[in-house]
Amino acid sequence: MHNPLLEKPSAAHGAYPFDTVKPEHFIPALETAMASARLALESYKVNPTGDFQQVIVEKNDVTEQVDYVAGIFFNLHSAQCTEELEKISPQISEMLTKFGNDIALDPVIFSKIKACYDTRFEQDLSSEELMIIEKTYKSFVRSGALLADSEKQRMRELDEKLAKLTLTFSQNVLKATNEYLLEITDKSELNGLPDSFMEASAELAEKKGKQGSWCISLDAPMIIPVLTYAKNRDLRKKVFLANSSKAFNDKYDNQENLKEILKLRTERAKILGFNTHADYVLEERMAMSPKKVMDFLEELFIKAKPHAEKEIDKLKKLANEVDGLAELQRYDSAYYSEILKKHELDFDDEMLRPYFKLENVVDGIFKVANKLYGINFKEVFNIPKYHEDVRTFEVYDDETNSFVGLFYTDFFPRETKRGGAWMSGIKEQGMYQGKVERPHIMIVCNFTKPTKTKPSLLTLDEVFTLFHEFGHALHGLLSKCKYRDLSGTNVYWDFVELPSQMMENWVLEKDCLDLFAVHFETGEKIPADLVAKIKASGKFLEGLATLRQLSFATLDMAYHMTDPSLITDVTEFESKITDKTSLFPKIKGTNLSTAFSHIFSGGYSAGYYSYKWAEVLDADAFEFFQQSGVFNKEVAKKFRTYILEKGGTQHPMELYKQFRGQEPDVGALLRRAGLH
């Protein structure tokens, strides 16, 4: 059978053959790639040479084809997961886990890695080569290379079970999300909702064969307007409950999966000599220890809580005055926050939407990248795509006129795409078979879709999301490393959010908004007074927003610091941990944990705190820009040179100090948020 996964890509820049790959290609391609790799590994193992080139570089070459096939599969599994792909995903996951463990737990391979590591200072190596040796050695140790044979066997079992469980967790959340559909037949139940929502929900109803009705799904572009604008409190409650009880006490219930994941992660950590999974994870993070994370979260909590309490008192008072509401519930929060924003700042998101046509925002973000880093984005139509919504761009450097990389965008929700937003290194920058190649980077989001009469008009939050993911994309695109394992976003997890959160700062700057924020019908530039209100909104209800993030981060840490045998009731455990950071009554039948994909299937276990950690870095870094002008070329060049280009070639704190000239100041975050 012809298999495009086993052929050299023929498209421009060696782009992935998304247009010709079919689900039935993956397992045969992986089997072939793994068989070739195993043969090559046997030769690798008998070669007595122990120098860097043979031990590190050639080992990476051996697994390149396997990595290539896996990369295509997992990109599709997240963004275009058909039933056929979902069906084979457990087998793919099992094959890859076994293959990875066969390498990581092979004593001969490890002995070569260890010999190279032990003699690294005698080999006249560059700092990047030293870093890749150290990272490779540590990854083997953290995978169990120093364990006894019986413990290695148990590690294999644990890793295979965890791969299946985390995949099942993710699939359950997607299925629960896709299965929900609320039909509304009485238009008056939708009072207060904007025209854009009404049109989108009518189109969804038509698509679902329910003409003359309005339908609501659990996609973010539908949930958020309901919670923010619907006057019908029962509707807000119904949608909130549905969204907050995904994969909880239903046929996709994730409670037992969650508990088993925690149990296996803890056992794995203990085998490796760590007290908890959090200790294991944080050994390779800037924060270094659970105590440092908890102290950091507590410091922010102490600052944020008094502000949050004042803010919720305002909301309660307003809800009582406007609607005679006796008790403010969580599903009321966004609705009355929006009314309060109108009262205090005299604007709301719907006033902004006409100025945020998606195509204009994308064009604007490209202009920002050009002003800061001198790069250009040119849309091209000869790159294979996996869906018609995908757009592709070639990126070039102005100064050298050299090719920087390929950039893909995929912006609208669909049933085959998981929720949220993410950046993916389809092909990471670095060495392939002895040649350093440029990256292929993708950002995937779930934004407001265009309707029959209107283009995609983004909310302010969606604009922030686009800038955030684009920041990750720049980290991948501008990387200038030799080795893939250190390039782009292959950095400590609590450093990886710096470039993304850094980009969000420009959304609040007039000089940036003036580049793209024009009315989609009149072409009128966004008025200066509206820009000032957007700027002011950056601190609006920031105390409550901070407590919400701290709630997620604290729950994550608690799950991964606690003896899992003590977590018998998921709802009870979640309530106990989040009580401290929640100012709303607990609503029966809801559960955050069973759909907390970030930590149970998305790589953020004992790492959710990194969003707030990186906020300290980005607030401090942006103050540096503000001192010289937000488009200052010299500061931008420093940020590009020391943060965006270096990847994980040095410790992140050293890179940050080379950029900033000092360690980050937590006060910068508090000043920006108005919490000092």
Summarize pLDDT for 210-238 with one digit per residue, the tens: 999 999 999 999 999 999 999 999 999 99
* Cα–Cα–Cα angle for 641, 54, 424, rounded to 5 degrees: 45
Q: Is the pLDDT of residue 256 over 80?
A: yes
Q: Would you tell me how many other CB atoms lie within 10 Å of the CB of residue 282?
A: 25
| Cβ neighbour number for residue 418 with a 10 Å cutoff | 21
Cα 548 to chain center, whole Å? 17
pLDDT band at 49 (very low <50, low <70, confident <90, very high): confident
Number of C-beta neighbours around residue 432 at 10 A: 17
Looking at residue 59, its pLDDT comes to 84
Is position 469 annotated as part of the catalytic site?
Answer: yes
Does pLDDT of 48 surpass 80?
A: no
- Whole-angstrom distance, CA of residue 445 vs CA of residue 421: 4
pLDDT more than 90, % of the chain: 91
- 173 burial (CB, 10 Å; 0-12 / 13-18 / 19+) is buried
pLDDT-based confidence at residue 378 (cuts at 50, 70, 90): very high
pTM for the whole structure:
0.92
pLDDT at 435 (0 to 100): 93
Q: 157 Cβ partners below 8 Å, 6+ apart?
A: none
Q: CB atoms < 10 A from the CB of 171, how many?
A: 20
Contact between residue 167 and residue 178 where contact means Cβ atoms under 8 Å apart: no
pLDDT in tens, 75-121: 999 999 999 999 999 999 999 999 999 999 999 999 999 999 999 99
Tell whether the model's pLDDT for residue 50 goes beyond 80: no
Per-residue pLDDT band at 51 (split at 50, 70, 90):
confident
DSSP 261-308: HHHHHHHHHHHTT-SSHHHHHHTTSSS-SHHHHHHHHHHHHHHHHHHH
Note the pLDDT of residue 2. Answer: 86
Lowest mean pLDDT among 27-41, 530-544, 647-661: 530-544
Q: Residue 35: is its pLDDT beyond 90?
A: yes
State residue 279's pLDDT score.
98
Per-residue pLDDT tens over the stretch 144-174: 999 999 999 999 999 999 999 999 999 999 9
- Residue-level pLDDT at 54: 84
pLDDT (0 to 100) of residue 507: 95
Pair 182, 193: CB distance under 8 Å: no
Cβ atoms of 335 and 230 within 8 Å: the answer is: yes
pLDDT band at 634 (very low <50, low <70, confident <90, very high): very high
Mean pLDDT of the chain: 95
Tell me what pLDDT residue 120 has.
93
Spatial contact of 635 and 625, defined as CB atoms under 8 Å apart: yes
pLDDT in tens, 259-308: 999 999 999 999 999 999 999 999 999 999 999 999 999 999 999 999 99
- 435-437 vs 430-432, strand pairing mode: antiparallel
In this prediction, residue 57 has a pLDDT band, given cuts at 50, 70 and 90, of confident
pLDDT digits (tens, 9 = 90+) for 417-467: 988 999 999 999 999 988 999 999 999 999 999 988 999 999 999 999 999
Instruction: Judge whether 406 and 13 are in contact, CB under 8 Å.
Output: yes
pLDDT of residue 602: 86
The encoded tokens of residue 247 equal: 């994969």
User: Which residues are CB-neighbours of 26 under 8 A, at least 6 positions away?
Assistant: 5, 69, 72, 73, 85, 88, 92
Among 128, 462, 469, 615, the one annotated catalytic: 469
pLDDT of residue 55: 86
Q: How confident is the model at residue 61 (pLDDT cuts 50, 70, 90)?
A: confident
Q: What is the pLDDT of residue 393?
A: 98
Burial 622-632 (b: 16+ CB within 10 A, else e): bbbbeeeebbb
